[in-house]
Chain A
Amino acid sequence: MERRSKETLNALFFFGLLLLFVFQFALGPDRERLAGTLPGLLWLGFILSGLLGLGRTFVAERENDCWEGLLLAPGDKSAIYVGKLAGNLLLMLIIEAILLALFGFFFNLDLAGVLPGLAVVIALGTVALAAVGTLFAAMTAQVRARELLFPVLLLPVEAPVLLATVKATEAVLLGETLGSVAHWLKLLAAADVVYVAVGVLTFDFVLEA
Chain B
Amino acid sequence: MKRLLGFLTVLGLAAGLVMGFGVAPREATQGNVQRIMYLHVPSVWVGYLAFVVVLVASIVYLARRSEAADRLAHASAEVGVLFTGLTIATGSIWGKPTWGTWWTWDARLTSVSILFVMYLGYLLLRGMIDDRERGARFAAVLGIVAAFNIPLVHFSVLWWRTLHQPPTLMAPGPAPVPGIIKAALYVNFVAFTLLYGYFLTRRVRVLRLEAEAEA
Report if A190 contacts B (CB, 8 A): yes
9-residue interface stretch from B6-14, B133-141, B185-193 = B133-141
B156's partner among A135, A163, A206 (CB-CB below 8 A) is: A163
Closest-CB distance, A105 to chain B (whole angstroms): 30
A139 x B160 contact (CB < 8 A): no
B157 x A139 contact (CB < 8 A): no
Known contacts A139-B125, A153-B125; A160/B152 CB under 8 A: yes
Closest-CB distance, B149 to chain A (whole angstroms): 6
Report if B146 contacts A (CB, 8 A): yes
Chain A residues, CB < 8 A from B152 = 160-161, 187, 190-191, 194
Report A118-144 CB contacts with B as 1/0, cut-off 8 Å: 000000000000001001100110111
Which among B134, B156, B157 has the greatest number of chain A C-beta atoms within 10 A?
B156
Using CB atoms, name the residue of chain A closest to B58. A202
Question: How many residues of A sit at the interface, in one of the four size bands?
Answer: 20 to 34
Known contacts A143-B128, A202-B141, A205-B140; A187/B62 CB under 8 A: no
Closest-CB distance, B4 to chain A (whole angstroms): 37
Q: Report the bound CA distance from A86 to B62 in whole Å.
A: 26
Closest-CB distance, B56 to chain A (whole angstroms): 15
Using CB atoms, name the residue of chain A closest to B131. A142
Report A174-187 CB contacts with B as 1/0, cut-off 8 Å: 00000000011001
Instruction: Report B136-165 residues with CB < 8 Å from chain A CB.
Output: 137-138, 140-142, 144-146, 148-149, 152-153, 155-157, 159-160, 163
Chain B residues, CB < 8 A from A157 = 118, 121, 145-146, 149
Report if B180 contacts A (CB, 8 A): no
Report if B206 contacts A (CB, 8 A): no
Known contacts A153-B121, A156-B118, A156-B121; A143/B156 CB under 8 A: no
A205 x B62 contact (CB < 8 A): yes
Chain A residues, CB < 8 A from B117 = 155-156
A198's partner among B134, B144, B155, B157 (CB-CB below 8 A) is: B144
Using CB atoms, name the residue of chain A closest to B147. A198
Report if B23 contacts A (CB, 8 A): no
Known contacts A157-B146, A164-B156; A139/B124 CB under 8 A: no
Report if A149 contacts B (CB, 8 A): yes
B142 x A153 contact (CB < 8 A): yes
A139 x B159 contact (CB < 8 A): no
Which among B124, B129, B140, B141 has the greatest number of chain A C-beta atoms within 10 A?
B141
A159's partner among B62, B156, B159 (CB-CB below 8 A) is: B156
Q: Report the bound CA distance from A187 to B129 in whole Å.
A: 33
Q: Report the bound CA distance from A145 to B121 in whole Å.
A: 13
| Given A157-B121, A183-B159, 15 additional A-B pairs, CB 8 A | A132-B145, A135-B141, A143-B128, A144-B128, A145-B128, A152-B121, A153-B142, A155-B117, A157-B149, A163-B156, A194-B149, A198-B148, A202-B62, A206-B138, A206-B141
7 A-B interface contacts by CB (under 8 A):
A145-B128, A156-B121, A160-B155, A160-B156, A187-B152, A202-B144, A205-B137
Interchain residue pairs A-B with the least CB separation, the first 7 = A160-B156, A156-B118, A160-B152, A156-B117, A163-B156, A202-B141, A153-B121
Which B residues lie at the A interface, using CB under 8 A?
Answer: 62, 114, 117-118, 121, 124-125, 128-130, 134, 137-138, 140-142, 144-146, 148-149, 152-153, 155-157, 159-160, 163
